[in-house]
Structure 1
Amino acid sequence: MGNSADVIIIGGGIVGTSIAYQLSKMGRKVIILEKDQLACQATRAAAGMLASQAEIEQDGPLFQMGLTSQSMFSTLANELLEFSGVDIEFVNKGLLKIAETEEIASEVKKQVDFQREWDPAITWLDKKELLELEPSLSPSISGAMLIPNDGHVQPAKLAKAFTQAAAYFGAEIREHTEVVSLIYENGQVRGVNTTNGAIRSEQVVVAAGAWASKLLCEAGLEINVYPVKGECFSVRPEKPVISMTIFSDKRCYLVLKRNGEIYIGATMIEHTFDQTVTPKGIASLIERATNLVPQLNEAAWERVWSGIRPQTGDGLPYIGEHPSRKGLYVAAGHFRNGILLSPITGKLMANLLTGGITDQTLLSAFHLERHKKIVV
């Protein structure tokens, strides 16, 4: 193993591996450093929804970024299969955003009108139309927004595909290697000190999710990234009970995977790195899920899991270069949209690091100084 690289990426989650793939494909020598195992935090907790038009309800930089990134998955799935041999299980069978009450229905109908500007195929389904499409849904539901062009992927396989495709182009992956400090000389990044020794590089990307704040604080930049635990579980019905993703405004989702397993999540417990899966959290999800699809009460139990997702004070990720430490870059704080935004984040960061063409208007919304607390 070498002790130098063109770019060091701190963090082996979905964002870090996507950046590594794009940079390696451009011919840069990349080392990914992960303090635990690859994709073991927010990526592990994700269900893989690409729900840009269900999760993000207002126009703006995050929404436009989400739409752009979502449109990249079809081509990306084929590209990653070619270079990594991994099928990311891209499924594009649509999503239903459920309105459980008449009051919620009036709000979802407004979202339909707004979203149709971007996708004319989006439509409102009343109760009768909804139950004709998904007969297993509870008859108490008032209706739903149908987003026929939405889809999902298998998060762990997407991260694996990014990693193996990056390795195909020469990237090196080092798990169980924690970065303990950054190395600077005259305001320029020169590398990192790790638990396994120093590695030199003049470009370092912090893509460490909820752990990014600690490293950046040491670098004189305080950003508002904090942990949010998400608990999930999965079941496997004997017979299919849903045909597409079900998303509730009460923050419960059901995602049908190719193997028949249904992922159900997710709780949101803020400001904790504790990954314990609790009876209280899983019980709340079971109640929400079975209220939506009563037949899930008879489904076979599969497994439970949790992960730590990185949220920010204003809900927008941080993407850009450190204002006073040349060569230090950040891509963190993607919260529930890390899977969705991974393709576009990888492209943006790769272009930024190599001097390529970047959408400066878009990036300006995610700059690192927006909560300006910098120590030079």
Structure 2
Amino acid sequence: MDKVGNSFDVAIIGGGINGSSIAYQLSKMGRKVIIIEKERLACQASSAAAGMLAAQAEIEQDGPLFQLALKGQAMFSTLSSELFEYTGIDIDYVNKGMLKIAETEEIAEEVKKQVAFQRNWDPTIKWLDSKELREMEPALSPSVSGGMYLPNDGHVQPSKLTQAFAKAAVYFGAEIRENTEVLSFIYENDQVKGVKTTNGIIHSNQVVVATGAWAAKLMSESGLDLRVYPVKGECFSIQTEKPMINTTIFSDKRCYLVPKRNGEIYIGATMIEDTFDNKVTPGGIATLIERATQLVPQIKEATWERVWSGIRPQTGDGLPYLGEHPRWKGLFVAAGHFRNGILLSPITGKLVADLLAGRLLDEVLHSAFLLERHKETAR
């Protein structure tokens, strides 16, 4: 292919949820964008996630990540309609709330403190005792001590959301190349000029690495020791004829149960660090079954559906990397979202698109997610 036909304003490496979100935002700006994916769109963590939008259940203290999560969560209602208009894809956005469960009196005291903290941002959040919990969700075990009710935490279908982002990007002129692996970057002086791939050279003055847990390997070629490492999560799902639960059930110490529109309940997830081996193990699933049935005993009577796993990208300090390479101009990274990749995808797309357009981020956000912090970050 000639240089003109292979030249773009921005090349995005990685066809997962964040790469696709960035492509969507940039394409809407009128930028000429290509997504380069070594396998297929949404083939890794983006299709394995449960899709929880748990801004206030998982992040327990204020800071840049928490504020980013709140902004991301607030975008989903409008985003769902917007993407459906451009693509016809329903991302299965469900907003029926979440229960963060306390299984012991000791944990209950911790969760009650979280309720008081979280009410600073959402006064509808409240503590429910064991009786109130079972009035809301009768299938819950009587042994549960209580829990935090978050009425505004919902969930989506991550693979559909990724496909919708990508299709919407194409609607605005983006190109997608699957089964194409990026081998190295091309530089000229201190500027990135494109990438070498298994299917030829792609010319671009801006490149975004959005390859999740694989970002560190690719970025090492640029001289950056990015502290992103893999954490495997195993999951399974069951099918029920009648709804067993209506809200998402989340136990910090044990597991989560996410009821989907099609009658499936997603149950996950194990956490196994430093492995790209995505096989599902009997031991991992057995542990999840034990934990889930202690929370919702009726699960034992449901129909078995399927098992799967995904590789999450964690960082040394738990914050994602969103920023430009400290040496090479035009080379950006958006990776390391760990368990918040789905939740943060809309705001990640917006922030990275703004960065590439030369717009300055909020100073606190910029300092928190800047790539230069890799020098201080240690696992």
TM-score range, shorter chain: over 0.9
- Candidates 69, 75, 82, aligned match of 1:72: 75
| Deviation of the 1:359 alpha carbon | 2.3
Judge conservation of contact 1:136–1:242 (CA < 8 Å) in 2.
Answer: yes
Judge conservation of contact 1:96–1:144 (CA < 8 Å) in 2.
Answer: yes
- 1:244 and 2:252 matched: no
Post-superposition Cα deviations, 1:37-76, rounded to whole Å, max 9, x if no partner, equal 1111111220000001000001000000000110000000
Please name the residue that 2:328 is paired with: 325
- Candidates 144, 148, 162, aligned match of 2:147: 144
Q: Report which stretch shifted further, 270-279 or 351-360.
A: 351-360
Q: Which amino acid aligns with 2:108?
A: A
Judge conservation of contact 1:222–1:373 (CA < 8 Å) in 2.
Answer: no
In 1, Cα distance between the equivalents of 2:333 and 2:32?
18
| Deviation of the 1:216 alpha carbon | 1.0
- Candidates 196, 199, 210, aligned match of 2:199: 196
Q: TM-score, normalised by structure 1?
A: 0.98
| Deviation of the 1:214 alpha carbon | 1.1
Q: Which amino acid aligns with 2:242?
A: K
- Candidates 329, 337, 341, aligned match of 1:338: 341
- 1:164 and 2:167 matched: yes
Q: Residues 199-238 of structure 1: matches in 2 within 5 Å?
A: 199-238=202-241
Judge conservation of contact 1:33–1:179 (CA < 8 Å) in 2.
Answer: yes
Please name the residue that 1:38 is paired with: 41
Please name the residue that 2:371 is paired with: 368
Distance 1:101 1:373, change over 3 A: closer
Q: Which amino acid aligns with 2:255?
A: C
Give structure 1 stretches of 5+ with no counterpart: none
Q: Report which stretch shifted further, 114-123 or 362-371.
A: 362-371
Distance 1:373 1:247, change over 3 A: closer
Q: Report which stretch shifted further, 237-246 or 115-124.
A: 237-246
- Candidates 55, 59, 80, aligned match of 1:52: 55
Q: Which amino acid aligns with 1:370?
A: R
Q: Aligned to 1:202, what secondary structure does the other structure show?
A: strand
- Candidates 82, 85, 91, aligned match of 1:82: 85
Q: Aligned to 2:83, what secondary structure does the other structure show?
A: helix
Q: Aligned to 2:208, what secondary structure does the other structure show?
A: strand
In 1, Cα distance between the equivalents of 2:247 and 2:102?
16
Q: Aligned to 1:203, what secondary structure does the other structure show?
A: strand
In 2, Cα distance between the equivalents of 1:53 and 1:123?
12
Q: Aligned to 1:189, what secondary structure does the other structure show?
A: strand
| Deviation of the 1:334 alpha carbon | 0.2
- Candidates 342, 352, 355, aligned match of 2:355: 352
| Deviation of the 1:373 alpha carbon | 7.8
Judge conservation of contact 1:50–1:151 (CA < 8 Å) in 2.
Answer: yes
In 2, Cα distance between the equivalents of 1:307 and 1:15?
15
Q: Aligned to 1:308, what secondary structure does the other structure show?
A: strand
Please name the residue that 2:98 is paired with: 95
Q: Aligned to 1:370, what secondary structure does the other structure show?
A: helix
CA RMSD of aligned residues (A): 1.1
Q: Aligned to 1:103, what secondary structure does the other structure show?
A: helix
In 1, Cα distance between the equivalents of 2:48 and 2:250?
16
Q: Which amino acid aligns with 1:188?
A: Q
Please name the residue that 2:292 is paired with: 289
Please name the residue that 2:256 is paired with: 253
In 2, Cα distance between the equivalents of 1:306 and 1:188?
38
Q: Aligned to 2:7, what secondary structure does the other structure show?
A: coil
Q: Which amino acid aligns with 2:227?
A: N
In 2, Cα distance between the equivalents of 1:324 and 1:110?
44
- 1:307 and 2:310 matched: yes
In 2, Cα distance between the equivalents of 1:146 and 1:17?
32
In 1, Cα distance between the equivalents of 2:249 and 2:65?
22
Please name the residue that 2:110 is paired with: 107
- 1:264 and 2:267 matched: yes
Please name the residue that 2:280 is paired with: 277
| Deviation of the 1:357 alpha carbon | 5.0
Distance 1:251 1:188, change over 3 A: farther
Give structure 2 stretches of 5+ with no counterpart: none
Please name the residue that 1:29 is paired with: 32
Distance 1:251 1:163, change over 3 A: farther
In 1, Cα distance between the equivalents of 2:184 and 2:365?
30
In 2, Cα distance between the equivalents of 1:264 and 1:14?
21
